[in-house]
């Protein structure tokens, strides 16, 4: 069975051309076809999510620019250029049902230039059925980022309360493709406090931080074990960290190849797709590309 395509969404912006470069490298690494998609918003009467192919994609100036941009970069296995009309966020999200990966820039041509994340990128990262990579603008810095050992590095955020195999599988696969070290950030709550009798008063529980960190490390190693077996060549660095998962991940993103985070599962009383505050913060502030991974299907 052939690999599912890597989709790069382009709109003529510099952000989307950076995403196109990232998608090209990803397609080559996976041995997958590359599909370059431009969604035009001219058909305002179209239904949300409706896919309407334009009669002549070759005449689309945005796709022509993308074709020129890729010229001289060497030939991936297969490149397809697709022009569509509709609402970009919902339409691109639907395309994710038949893709292995969907890649966008953090900002498009529309909207407010001061925003850190475009509405289409946010919608696709939240709703697509495949992993979504959002490529930030260059030069984003993380204040007070700790020094890291040299060499390529992939960072993944692990929630030990609800670990997800799809998230870890993607992170290990990316690390293997890049011959990169995998840094696993597992945040634990600290300080641990409980409500006291007086309204609004919190008191410490007496839980030892070293014990809590050791427990987090033990849980993390257990979740990582089957993935280590499938990817014995990947160097893994479990990193339990106190409190503030979003801050820890954003800090670790400085000079990383990729930051991998997950989405929330749908809940009975909240059936819509949810991304979560940690993933949202990573998309807004991380210094490297961010991969948002949909949760594994629920087991019967």
Summarised one tens digit per residue, pLDDT across range 243-260 is 788 999 999 999 999 999
Picking from 7-16, 183-192, 245-254, which range would have the lowest pLDDT averaged per residue?
183-192
Confidence of residue 109 (pLDDT cuts 50, 70, 90): low
**Beta bridge partners of residue 264, listed in sequence order:** 274
Mean pLDDT for 5-25 is 93
Buried/exposed code over 34-57 (b: 16+ C-beta within 10 A; e: otherwise): bbbbbbeeeeeebeeeeeeebeeb
pLDDT value for 183: 96
Average pLDDT value over all residues in the chain: 82
Q: Residue 20 above 70 pLDDT?
A: yes
Average pLDDT estimate for 23-43? 89
Mean pLDDT of 62-75: 85
Break the chain into its structural domains and give their ranges. Answer: 6-135, 153-293
3-state secondary structure labels for all residues of the chain: CCCCCEEEECCCCHHHHHHHHHHHHHHHHHCCCEEEEEEECCCCCCCCCCCEECCCHHHCHHHHHHHHHHCCCCCCCCEEEEEEECCHHHHHHHHHHHCCEEEEECCCCCCCCCCCCCHHHHHHHHHCCCCEEEECCCCCCCCCCCCCCCCCEEEEECCCCCCCHHHHHHHHHHHHHHCCEEEEEEEECCCCEEECCCCCCEEECCCCHHHHHHHHHHHHHHHHHHHHHHCCCCCEEEEEEECCHHHHHHHHCCCCCEEEEECECCCCCCCCCECCHHHHHHHHHCCCCEEEECCCCCCC
**Is 55's pLDDT higher than 80?**
no
Rounded to an integer, the average pLDDT of 52-57 is 50
Arithmetic mean of pLDDT, 277-293: 93
- 300 pLDDT more than 60: no
- With cut-offs at 50, 70 and 90, classify the pLDDT of residue 154: very high
Mean pLDDT, rounded, for 58-85: 84
Nearest to 84 by CA among 42, 119, 118, 122: 42
Per-residue pLDDT at 204:
54
Q: What angle do CA 215, 212, 240 make, to 5 degrees?
A: 75
**CA-CA-CA-CA torsion sign (101, 7, 17, 47):** negative
Q: Which fold has domain 153-293?
A: Rossmann fold (3.40.50)
Q: Which CATH number fits domain 6-135: 3.90.550.10, 3.40.190.10, 3.10.20.310, 3.40.50.620?
A: 3.40.50.620
The full length of the chain comes to: 300
Q: Which of residues 285 and 58 earns the better pLDDT score?
A: 285
> CA-CA distance, 91 to 86, in Å (whole number)?
7
Q: Dihedral sign for Cα 74, 76, 82, 86, please.
A: negative
Residue with more model confidence, 54 or 189: 189
- Of 64, 147, 45, 100, the closest CA to residue 291 belongs to 100
Q: What is the pLDDT of residue 111?
A: 46
Q: What percent of the chain has pLDDT over 70?
A: 77
Mean pLDDT of 81-107: 91
Same CATH topology for 6-135 and 153-293? yes
Q: Is the peptide bond before 106 cis (omega within 30 degrees of 0)?
A: no
**What distance in Å separates the CA atoms of residue 249 and residue 243, rounded to the nearest whole number?**
11
Q: Which of 9, 251, 225, 220 is CA-nearest to residue 107? A: 9
Residue 113: CB atoms within 10 A of its CB come to 7
**Residues facing 39 on adjacent strands:** 84
Worst-scoring range by mean pLDDT, 165-179, 244-258, 273-287? Answer: 273-287
């Amino acid at each position: 069975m052939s690999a599912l395509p890597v989709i790069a969404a382009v709109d003529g912006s510099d952000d989307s051309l950076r995403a196109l470069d990232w998608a090209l490298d990803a397609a080559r690494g996976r041995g997958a076809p590359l599909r370059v998609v431009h969604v035009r918003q001219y058909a305002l009467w179209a239904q949300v999510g409706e896919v309407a192919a334009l009669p002549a994609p070759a005449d689309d100036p945005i796709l022509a620019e993308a074709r020129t941009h890729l010229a001289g970069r060497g030939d991936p296995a297969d490149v397809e250029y697709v022009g569509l009309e509709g609402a970009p966020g919902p339409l691109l999200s639907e395309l994710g049902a038949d893709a292995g990966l969907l890649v966008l820039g953090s900002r498009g041509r529309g909207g407010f230039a001061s925003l850190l994340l475009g509405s289409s990128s946010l919608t696709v990262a939240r709703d697509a059925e495949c992993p979504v990579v959002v490529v930030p603008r260059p030069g984003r810095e993380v204040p007070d980022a700790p020094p890291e050992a040299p060499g390529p590095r992939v960072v993944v955020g692990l929630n030990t309360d609800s670990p997800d195999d799809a998230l870890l599988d993607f992170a290990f696969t990316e690390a293997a493709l890049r011959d990169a070290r995998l840094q696993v950030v597992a945040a634990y709550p600290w300080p641990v406090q409980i409500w006291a009798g007086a309204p609004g008063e919190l008191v410490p529980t007496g839980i030892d931080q070293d014990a809590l960190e050791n427990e987090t490390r033990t849980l993390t190693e257990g979740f990582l074990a089957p993935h280590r077996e499938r990817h014995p060549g990947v160097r893994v660095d479990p990193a339990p960290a106190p409190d503030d998962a979003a801050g820890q991940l954003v800090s670790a993103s400085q000079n990383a190849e990729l930051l991998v985070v997950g989405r929330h599962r749908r809940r009975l009383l909240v059936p819509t797709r949810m991304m979560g505050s940690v993933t949202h913060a990573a998309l807004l502030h991380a210094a490297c590309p961010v991969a948002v991974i949909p949760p594994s299907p629920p087991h019967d």
